[in-house]
């Protein structure tokens, strides 16, 4: 099978890493996989093209970046893609965003011609796509196959499909990089975390919709009950001062909240310095990759019930699902922080589940099966 992974976003965020993981996994299964993506701006050190090439998936085509549907501005790009489709002889073109989805349709023809590639779309949120006519068409007749972030998300999107193939599969993580024995002591020292601290951690971009108000309000209650507790926030955001640092000072807890920012090579060690992971609102990648990474590190989690979180965290087995109130969140944190044996047991179960379900090979296998179903139809 010949597959083209196509993305119009140049940034190395959200779905970018799962896309590259999938491409490499499909290659291991014997398929020919190419990549076409938007080129990063001049001087940018990170981007899809740059990071994919580091991992062995060199882009076959790079085109002008852009966002949204640009019928006039993207005409030349659509023609270039049409040439690539003919030259590459692809069976499947897998799109990851709306812009590249429309580009692929324009390049192939909105109605599939004989010999044209099948178009598969990834939908990176657990909630079903919008109900407006254009969106319903794109995710219905406008794609031959649909990949969702979980089985539950696939079930929610099924009414849009009109009987066309759809699958839901969890994301994937590198189990060698994210493992229970990753170095944690060095990271704690670098972050200024006391040796005896009980650390609740979150990995999330600091944005208004990620509920940092709830996170900090719950942390204030936790610190009242347990002075050894600390909150570690891993992630960046242009509104960090407004949404997190300022409110922490106002609550009088700034000395017990550590803002670690974005992490690079030491990220796995920083993640493993956490005793208890927490996650409130999924970001642009609905697979909640940071939560999967924490599970691979053997860290139990306390989360809300949003998106795919109830499917990723098994309540009472690998973590706890709680209501979105400061009292409920703080109580769940405190319960697990004070029960080391339960944390160890649930962390072990989280790692075991990661080894079964959150691995690149399983991700590639599920999508491969969808491709085959699409082509058979």
Range of the domain at 353: 185-357
Q: Look at residue 85 and tell me if it is in a domain.
A: yes
Domain match, 212 and 123 both: no
Q: What is the CATH number of the domain that holds 192?
A: 3.40.50.2000
Domain match, 227 and 348 both: yes
Domain match, 259 and 156 both: no
Region label for 122, one of left (φ > 0), alpha (ψ between -120 and 50) or beta (otherwise)? beta
Domain match, 248 and 158 both: no
Contacts of 255 (CB under 8 A, 6+ apart): none
Residue % of the chain over a pLDDT of 90: 78
Residue bearing tokens 């807890």: 253
pTM exceeding 0.85 = yes
Domain match, 213 and 164 both: no
Mean pLDDT score across all residues of the chain = 92
Domain match, 144 and 197 both: no
Domain match, 168 and 52 both: yes
Q: Look at residue 58 and tell me if it is in a domain.
A: yes
Domain match, 149 and 192 both: no
| pLDDT bucket at 182, cuts 50 / 70 / 90 | low
Domain match, 372 and 328 both: no
> Does the pLDDT value for residue 223 go beyond 90?
yes
Domain match, 336 and 316 both: yes
Q: Look at residue 289 and tell me if it is in a domain.
A: yes
Domains in the chain, number: 2
Lowest-confidence pick of 65-69, 82-86, 293-297, 320-324 = 65-69
Domain match, 215 and 112 both: no
């Amino acid at each position: 099978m010949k597959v083209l992974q196509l993305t119009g976003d140049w940034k190395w965020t959200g779905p970018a890493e799962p896309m590259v993981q999938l491409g490499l996994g499909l290659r291991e299964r014997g398929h020919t996989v190419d990549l076409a993506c938007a080129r990063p701006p001049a001087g940018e050190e990170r981007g899809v093209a740059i990071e994919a090439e580091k991992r062995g998936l060199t882009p076959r085509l790079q085109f002008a970046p852009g966002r949204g549907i640009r019928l006039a501005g993207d005409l030349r790009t659509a023609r270039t893609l049409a040439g690539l489709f003919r030259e590459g002889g692809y069976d499947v073109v897998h799109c990851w965003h709306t812009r590249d989805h429309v580009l692929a349709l324009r390049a192939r023809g909105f109605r599939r011609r004989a010999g044209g590639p099948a178009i598969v779309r990834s939908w990176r949120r657990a909630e079903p796509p919008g109900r407006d006519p254009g969106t319903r068409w794109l995710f219905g007749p406008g794609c031959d196959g649909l990949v969702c972030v979980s089985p539950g998300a696939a079930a929610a999107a099924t009414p849009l499909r009109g009987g066309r193939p759809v699958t839901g599969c969890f994301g994937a993580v590198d189990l060698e990089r994210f493992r229970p024995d990753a170095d944690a002591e060095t990271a704690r020292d670098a972050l200024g975390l006391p040796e005896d601290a009980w650390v609740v951690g979150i990995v999330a971009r600091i944005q208004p919709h990620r509920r940092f108000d709830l996170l900090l309000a719950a942390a204030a209650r936790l610190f009242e009950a347990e002075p050894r507790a600390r909150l570690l926030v891993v992630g960046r955001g242009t509104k960090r001062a407004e949404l997190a640092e300022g409110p922490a000072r106002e609550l009088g807890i700034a000395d017990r909240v550590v803002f670690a920012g974005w992490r690079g090579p030491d990220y796995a060690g920083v993640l493993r310095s956490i005793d208890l992971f927490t996650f409130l609102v999924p970001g642009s990648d609905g697979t909640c990759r940071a939560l999967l990474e924490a599970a691979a590190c053997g860290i139990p989690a306390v989360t809300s019930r949003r998106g795919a979180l109830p499917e990723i965290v098994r309540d009472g087995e690998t973590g706890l699902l709680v209501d979105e109130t400061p009292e409920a969140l703080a109580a769940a944190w405190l319960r697990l922080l004070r029960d080391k044996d339960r944390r160890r047991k649930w962390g072990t179960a989280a790692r075991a589940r990661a080894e079964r379900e959150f691995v690149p090979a399983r991700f590639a296998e599920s999508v491969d099966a969808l491709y085959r179903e699409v082509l058979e139809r």
